[in-house]
Structure 1
């Protein structure tokens, strides 16, 4: 009789494990760094598969070659908001793959504002005398590893325009990023 009761409890426990609710994290706060910049972000859950990511970034750039006096770099600020749709979370769980810390593939619409607040550079001739705004549809892959660490790759093509410049510079813009990060806080 004891074996039957123990077996029933084990079976109920296994069903509870497989019947878990599949959802992205309620809130996720972290930092990511890549070859061309660093950002602090917050992803807030809007539904089981949709988050709203907001971040503050320092985007980087560099130049070198015969036409320049020296090799240079710059960092310029940007703020963005990005609704993300993590598709296939149920399929990832069924295959036994990790979805913690919003691990999964996603589509998003990145809207970014680059203000002319300041530029950090080793070249005093570099200035940021205009504001820019861009809207970019993005495909991305996010994976977590070693508890709170993550990496994220995303690519997209969209529209960008400068503000406060006559004539405005506008047209297509290409977006590609690979960053490694750490999640400080999640709920």
Structure 2
């Protein structure tokens, strides 16, 4: 992962040297909800165009099986760290568009950890397997009024399951997809 992050930060530093007029917020805090969960987040400035987003929340899972007639949903805790490069802040500023609250387009590396602390589900006796995913993502964030925001993003990356003693996994690695559409409130 370090080989992915280093070029992103070097690119951000080079671009940051050429553009000193616009900057991401020093720190922004908010809550977001979407079809697949609810989250609390903080973004902290690293450079003028790069921020580090930390997030904790509940991700939703929907599952079904014809063989056992099991259909349901679950909510599992999620911890995310995501460096974001906001690459079009200067262009937005030159067109007199808003950049407050880190309103702009971004490229990120979303790293999410789902621990097996607890799950909330409509089924009992579910066995949740801890996982971690690393997903390069492209996204946008825009403001709606003074405090409300919406965000959309898409990415495809790597997912690794952590094997438990009583579980047999056919393959411990998989493809992770990050497709999100969220509405939030910024404090």
TM normalised by structure 1 equals 0.82
Using the TM superposition, give the Cα deviation of residue 164 of structure 1 relative to its aligned residue in structure 2, in angstroms: 2.9
Unaligned stretches of 5+ residues in structure 2:
1-19
Residues 118-170 of structure 1: CA distance to partner in whole angstroms, max 9, x if unpaired?
11001113231x21111110000000111010000011000011113454520
Using the TM superposition, give the Cα deviation of residue 88 of structure 1 relative to its aligned residue in structure 2, in angstroms: 1.4
Using the TM superposition, give the Cα deviation of residue 71 of structure 1 relative to its aligned residue in structure 2, in angstroms: 4.4
**Corresponding position: 1:183 with 2:186:** yes
Indicate if the aligned counterparts of 1:138 and 1:157 stay in contact, CA closer than 8 A: yes
* Counterpart position of 1:146: 145
Output the CA distance in 1 between the equivalents of 2:186 and 2:116: 29
Indicate if the aligned counterparts of 1:119 and 1:127 stay in contact, CA closer than 8 A: no
Using the TM superposition, give the Cα deviation of residue 79 of structure 1 relative to its aligned residue in structure 2, in angstroms: 0.3
Unaligned stretches of 5+ residues in structure 1:
1-19
TM normalised by structure 2 equals 0.82
Q: In the comparison of the two structures, how many residue pairs are matched?
A: 164
Q: CA RMSD in A?
A: 1.8
Find runs of 4+ consecutive structure 1 residues off by over 4 angstroms.
64-68
Output the CA distance in 2 between the equivalents of 1:115 and 1:64: 22
Indicate if the aligned counterparts of 2:34 and 2:181 stay in contact, CA closer than 8 A: yes
**Corresponding position: 1:29 with 2:37:** no
